[in-house]
Structure 1
Amino acid sequence: MIHRRHALGLLAAASLMPSHALAKVSEQRSELRIDLMRRFFELGTTGTFVAYKVDDYLFISSDKVRATQAQLPASTFKIPNSIIALETGVVKDPDKDVFKWDGVKRAIEPWNQDHTLRSAIAASAVPVYQEIARRIGPERMQKYVDLFEYGNRDIGGGIDQFWLTGNLRIDPMQQIEFVDKLRRGVLPVSKRSQELTRDILPVTKVGNAIIRAKTGLLGAEQGKPSLGWLVGWAEAGSQQTVFAMNMDCKEPAHIAARMNVVQQCLGDIVAI
């Protein structure tokens, strides 16, 4: 097992290896690919891309600094929130349990309707997941965030706000570690909760690859860019690559470009 403290030391030497129970230390390799930064520069912005090529035991990063900078997870927290909802019974069936629209008209039209867990994660419906978090409650939420070793584990700032404007922080390396445990089904919860969460994750098909991933977007403060996330994994035949990307979204086009940037970066390191 490679420990995170060891990983940060390797980063100082231009390497990337997060804490991962995936292979023996002697089998792990890392690679710094600053050429990947051009994908952000071409858009007129900055960001970071981190990936783990499962079959090759290879970690790849576009940089040494931003890859370890912790940020609010925004809607990427819908992944653990879904697992916890299923594990606690707040949601018993992701296709049948319905969350009724509260009647408040919001700017994002797909939020203004009833949702199941599957449709809510597809629409990234924040109000639904806020209600889910309230039903889970602070005690159970803290328990599972601790069990998942998710980011800094701090759910301060409100049970329905801590991943949006509160105290929770996670960096791309930690995102990869968490998502890969879900991919492998080794989180400390039932197999069923993990299988159902993997099944409801939004899917994008590109070439011979299937990408299962969740976006996240922090609202822009006046005069400041927002932060856009995309985390998940790509399956191309038997080859799987786990990734985490975040970038400064300085204009609406950047928000829409998140998946394209990830596809480009994946194409630079694997055949998709």
Structure 2
Amino acid sequence: MIHRRYALGLLAAATLLPSRGFADVAPQRSEIRESLARHFLDVGTVGTFVGYKVDDYLVIASDKNRSGEAKLPASTFKIPNSIIALETGVVADPDKDVFKWDGVARPIEAWNKDHTLRSAIAVSAVPVYQEIARRIGAERMQKYLDLFEYGNRDIGGGIDQFWLTGNLRIDPVQQVDFVDRLRRGVLPVSKRSQDLVRDILPVTKVGDTVIRAKSGLLGAEIGKPSLGWMVGWAEKGDARTVFALNMDCLEPRHTADRMAITQQCLGDIGAL
């Protein structure tokens, strides 16, 4: 396992982006490309995009402010939640262990059914992951968030709410750092847990590029979206680009814009 550290100076342009290293193999360069911000403006909102071109050790961001602002992770937390569920045995098999629907009809119809871990992450079923968090419990959840150095590591606000309405915060650069460690398989958990979570991540194909990503949307369960996320990585041939996007979702149509703008930004930086 490659030991990772948060070390000042690993990003050559430390004044542009938060100084965090994504691997010890080489120092990263970073740059701001303000032209990326136009994609948010084109749909009538604001947001930020951070992309890490792994082969070039290059971090590209659309801005130097929001890219470092910590926000609630919303359903992007399903990534670490899935890893912890598998690592603790709360879920033994992502395709066989079934979480029974509790019978409560919710506005998102896809949630109103039984789910496995794989199907739950595909439709971002919040009730399933809330039950998973309750089964994990606060002590184990805190242990793994500390091990992962995930955001501010604060699970205050309720074991089944801390990533939705509670105290947990993470910024886009931290998201990229965490997702890149999962991509490389160097998180401090078993290889099996990381392999399985990489496998169940939703996949979008654009030409010859495969995008593995998890969305997040605050307010989705009540039909009033406010903040949208998209985090993951793009695979094009042997090249890999890890990314995190968040944006203000001011209108329902903005929920679909998360992936569209992600693809536009990835295209602009040569990752598609």
CA contact (8 A) 2:88 2:136 kept: yes
Asked whether 1:31 is paired with 2:31, we answer yes
Counterpart in 2 of 1:3?
6
Q: Which runs of 4+ in 1 moved over 6 A?
A: none
CA contact (8 A) 2:51 2:176 kept: yes
Tell me the distance in 2 between the aligned counterparts of 1:10 and 1:56.
Answer: 15
Counterpart in 2 of 1:198?
198
Change (3 A) 1:3 1:266: same
Superposed CA deviations along residues 35-83 of structure 1, whole A, max 9, x for unmatched, are 0001101011000000100011100000000000000000000000000
Superposed CA deviations along residues 220-258 of structure 1, whole A, max 9, x for unmatched, are 8x9x97000000000000000000000001101111111
Tell me the distance in 1 between the aligned counterparts of 2:11 and 2:208.
Answer: 34
C-alpha RMSD over aligned residues: 1.9
Change (3 A) 1:50 1:4: farther
Counterpart in 2 of 1:156?
156
Identity rate, percent: 73
SS of residue paired to 1:241: strand
Q: What is the correspondence of 1:74-89 to structure 2 with a 5 Å cutoff?
A: 74-89=74-89
Structure 2 gap segments, 5+ residues each: none
Tell me the distance in 2 between the aligned counterparts of 1:218 and 1:86.
Answer: 25
Asked whether 1:140 is paired with 2:143, we answer no
Question: Residue 155 of structure 1: CA displacement?
Answer: 0.3
Amino acid at match of 1:96: K
Counterpart in 1 of 2:244?
244
Tell me the distance in 2 between the aligned counterparts of 1:183 and 1:2.
Answer: 17
CA contact (8 A) 2:13 2:31 kept: no
Asked whether 1:217 is paired with 2:221, we answer no
Question: Residue 22 of structure 1: CA displacement?
Answer: 4.4
Question: Residue 208 of structure 1: CA displacement?
Answer: 1.0
Counterpart in 2 of 1:107?
107
Question: Residue 270 of structure 1: CA displacement?
Answer: 1.2
Change (3 A) 1:230 1:268: same
Change (3 A) 1:40 1:11: farther
Q: TM-score, normalised by structure 2?
A: 0.94
Q: What is the correspondence of 1:26-105 to structure 2 with a 5 Å cutoff?
A: 28-105=28-105
Change (3 A) 1:242 1:17: farther
Question: Residue 3 of structure 1: CA displacement?
Answer: 3.2
Q: Aligned residues, how many?
A: 267
Structure 1 gap segments, 5+ residues each: none
Q: TM-score, normalised by structure 1?
A: 0.94
Counterpart in 2 of 1:18?
20
